[in-house]
Amino acid sequence: MSANVDSPEHVHIAVMGAGPGGICTAYQLLARGITDFLVLEKASGPGGTWYHNRYPGAECDIKSHLYSFSWELKADWSRPYAGDTEIREYLEHCIEKYGIDKYARYDTEVRAARWDDDASRWTLTFADGGTLTADVVVSGLGMFNDLRYPDVEGLDDFQGTMFHTARWDWDHDITGERVAVIGAAASAIQLVPEIAKTVGQLYLFQRSANWVAPKEDRPYTEEQLAEFRANPAAVQAFRDEIFRSTDPFITFQDEARLEMARQACLRAMEVVEDSEVRAKLTPDTPYACHRPLMSNYYYPTFNQPNVELVTDVITRITPTGVVTADGTEREVDTIVCATGFQTLKYLSAIDVTGRGGVRLADEWADGAQAYLGIAVAGFPNLFVLYGPNTNNGSIIYMIESQVGYVMRQIDRIDGERLASMEVRRDVQAAYNEQLQHDMATVGPWQGGCSTYYRAPSGRIVTQWPHTMTEYREATSRPDEHAYAVAPR
């Protein structure tokens, strides 16, 4: 039975989010012939991260042939690291080709999810007050939804234009303006070279320097594209090769390769003419302590006369500018907050209440944790995609592992006619104990960086410390014993 997209009161499966996670789930449900589901998305269209992040220079930093679904390889990515528009169009193509749009409800923000013990179902409450019940909830909210703004006095008093990189205001023309970019990490290193071409003056406020490696990103030639289009096996082989070269490195165990990457960053930095600026750009942390970044254009930007790197701490925002600890005020027309996201909240960014009225935010007060990053003790029939400790490698590859796992659980719920299945607390605890033990073997992550990896408790809650292959294996193993189940 298909869900009535307009006004259902109940669905078998509610999928939250129409990013890669939601799209992949919908694809796999339809591939199984399951149509009693809805995809609930707060934005006005699909694409998730790539719907929201449209700032100049936005692009992926995993090669696109690998940052795409295994069931819908794209032959003609224009270059190795595609930009946001190309990725967004690819995701829209997936939605259209597989008829997923029919199941998507946009402009539908889920505010709360409450498990009803007696009825063995979830009730979702939307921003407009409407509700929907579901037997199973799959969260595809991802890790990059809750925007982080600079925590600095006076931010709200600024009289000029201000926006976050994830909500770029394309109606506002920054040509010739004085622009402050606050934050010098993943988004900023992509954005700064682009806007430096057109703004009058750019101030980049950096709290800590990041290692920025060069990348091989020449657009594919017409001959290469023709070969890819004509030969699907070549596309698959190309993707496999990217996988083989990427997968072993993401555990950061290879000291020689880490040092090579660090040296490559230092060499790339040599292009910066001013030795003082070079010194400010040189991180005092090990390579990969923060998330490794890549750009061929970031360092050269600092030779432009209209670009200033500011490392003094911001103490205040005034109605007209940014004041640093040395008392200097730099007057600006626009402030761009390149301050990233509240990455540690995951699903607890919305109000989720599980068995016995326990709130997920309380359950995760010391930092998010789950079994395989997917199932949470006390929260039956709930599956989280791109959840705690699953961040590494190509996230689309990781999501495919998770969705495969979730499909097997849904098969079990349907096949065994279960009212509920809930991961056992002892299984979740043992899994996380082992995970944190393994985390300690990843040298660069012990470097003391205060990154988005760590909860205030000190526990690393975002990262997967192994390869993508190992995650695929972990999520493929039979593990019926891990769950307590109740019949319908």
Ligand X SMILES: Cc1cc2nc3c(=O)[nH]c(=O)nc-3n(C[C@H](O)[C@H](O)[C@H](O)COP(=O)(O)OP(=O)(O)OC[C@H]3O[C@@H](n4cnc5c(N)ncnc54)[C@H](O)[C@@H]3O)c2cc1C
Residues that bind ligand X (CB under 6 A): 16-22, 40-43, 48-49, 51, 53, 58, 60-62, 67, 109-110, 140-142, 144-145, 187, 350, 385-386, 394-395
Which CB atom, from 110 or from 132, has the smaller least distance to ligand X? Answer: 110
Which CB atom, from 154 or from 214, has the smaller least distance to ligand X? Answer: 214
Helices (H), 69-213: 84-97, 186-195
Which CB atom, from 291 or from 459, has the smaller least distance to ligand X? Answer: 291
Q: Are the CB atoms for 446 and 439 separated by under 8 Å? A: no
Which CB atom, from 161 or from 342, has the smaller least distance to ligand X? Answer: 342
Angle at 201 between CA 195 and CA 203, to 5 degrees: 85
Min separation Cβ 256 and ligand X, Å:
25
CB atoms within 10 A of CB 38: 24
- Cβ contacts of residue 373 below 8 Å, gap of 6+? 384, 386, 387, 388, 389, 390, 402, 464
Min separation Cβ 193 and ligand X, Å:
15
Q: Is the dihedral of CA 92, 97, 101, 103 positive or negative?
A: negative
Whole-number Å distance between alpha carbons of 153 and 155: 6
CA-wise closest residue to 42 among 127, 101, 139, 107: 107
C-alpha distances out from residue 301 to 277, 305, 309, Å = 11, 9, 10
Min separation Cβ 162 and ligand X, Å:
19
Min separation Cβ 360 and ligand X, Å:
13
Quote the tokens at residue 60: 């992926």
Quote the tokens at residue 216: 């091989």
Backbone torsions φ then ψ of 387, nearest 5 degrees = -90, -160
C-alpha distances out from residue 325 to 160, 282, 316, Å = 21, 21, 9
What region, left, alpha or beta, does residue 44 occupy, with left being phi > 0 and alpha being psi -120 to 50 degrees?
A: alpha
Whole-number Å distance between alpha carbons of 474 and 471: 5
Whole-number Å distance between alpha carbons of 32 and 432: 31
Which CB atom, from 40 or from 258, has the smaller least distance to ligand X? Answer: 40
Which CB atom, from 49 or from 201, has the smaller least distance to ligand X? Answer: 49
CA-wise closest residue to 122 among 110, 105, 108: 110
Which CB atom, from 308 or from 470, has the smaller least distance to ligand X? Answer: 470
Whole-number Å distance between alpha carbons of 229 and 209: 41
Which CB atom, from 147 or from 225, has the smaller least distance to ligand X? Answer: 147
Min separation Cβ 137 and ligand X, Å:
11
Min separation Cβ 61 and ligand X, Å:
4
CA-wise closest residue to 453 among 444, 445, 462: 462
Write out the H or E segment, with its range, that includes residue 88.
Answer: helix 84-97
Min separation Cβ 18 and ligand X, Å:
5
Which CB atom, from 206 or from 348, has the smaller least distance to ligand X? Answer: 348
- DSSP SS3 for 323: strand
Which CB atom, from 61 or from 227, has the smaller least distance to ligand X? Answer: 61
Min separation Cβ 347 and ligand X, Å:
9
Min separation Cβ 235 and ligand X, Å:
19
Q: Are the CB atoms for 329 and 341 separated by under 8 Å? A: no
Min separation Cβ 215 and ligand X, Å:
11
Min separation Cβ 164 and ligand X, Å:
11
Which CB atom, from 145 or from 206, has the smaller least distance to ligand X? Answer: 145
According to DSSP, residue 375 is labeled B
